[in-house]
Amino acid sequence: MQAEALNQIPIFSSLQADTRTAIARRAFTRNLPTGCTLLVEGLPAEYGYFVLSGELRALRMNQDGRVQILARFWTGDPINLISLLSQEHVNRATIETLTNSTLLVLSASDFNDLIHRHPDFSTLLLRQFAARLTKMTDLAADLSLYAVRARLARFLIELADLTPSHAGWTQDEIAAHIGTVRDVVGRLLRDFESADLIQRQRGQIVLLNRDELTRISKD
């Protein structure tokens, strides 16, 4: 991989030139189409990834044999770092592409090597962990402060205001994101629809009443 290519990637822009060169020497890219399984839960963790483009999601098998959606990944997000750095060294989740995706790939030994030789690379990883921890802390605060109805209203507003996700959101993925379960999301969407706050069309949720949804989001 060319070091110049890494200059174009925002997450690596804070790294020193020699660190970018060291990553470029070791890394390669992988292009995957939609619906590809990148990692399988429970298999040895051999590679770590950074998303260069696309959308992916993490799934994990529950004790009752049902899959649980854990997280979504976008450009700049690292994938499988915790598996690589933990003692068990196994993939902690199955990762699936939701759109055509391009990933920067580093082997486990290259990751360790970069961490030991390049402190700015370690700092980058720490920042990524800190960002993830902040997200989880925010969610925990949200869980205690706001009712699930408020969290769903807020998330719908966020999704409608953001650049649309190419992959869309399933009810399970929405549930995972706001800390609840699919059935509750389905029930609340039906409630919002009967109150004329949203309209559901095939594959679309159209938000009809910004003032009321904003009010609910603060309940």
Partner 1 sequence: MTEPIIPSINLTLCNRCTQCVSGCPEQSLVMTERGPEFIKPITCTYCGDCEGLCPTGAIRAPLWVTWDAHV
Q: What does the binding site for partner 1 look like in residue numbers (CB under 8 A)?
A: 34-37, 59, 65-67, 69, 94, 96, 98, 156, 159-161, 164-165, 167-174, 182, 186, 199-200, 202-210
Shortest Å, Cβ 36 to partner 1: 8
Residue 197: phi, psi to the nearest 5?
-90, -30
Residue with tokens 């509750």: 184
Of 68 and 128, nearer to partner 1 (C-beta) is 68
Task: Report the nearest approach of partner 1 to the CB of residue 199 (Å).
Answer: 7
What is the SS3 string spanning 56-100? Answer: EEEEEECCCCCEEEEEEECCCCEECHHHHHCCCCECCCEEEECCC
Rank residues 202 and 218 by Cβ distance to partner 1 and give the closer one. Answer: 202
- Residue 17 neighbours by CB under 8 Å, 6+ apart: 3
We find the least distance from the C-beta atom of residue 33 to partner 1, in angstroms, to be: 11
Q: Between residues 15 and 185, which has the closer beta carbon with respect to partner 1?
A: 185
Residue 45 vs 205, nearer CB to partner 1 = 205
Asked if residue 56 lies in contact with residue 73, where contact means CB atoms within 8 angstroms, the answer is yes
Find the shortest distance in angstroms from Cβ 114 to partner 1: 31
d(CA 97, CA 67): 16
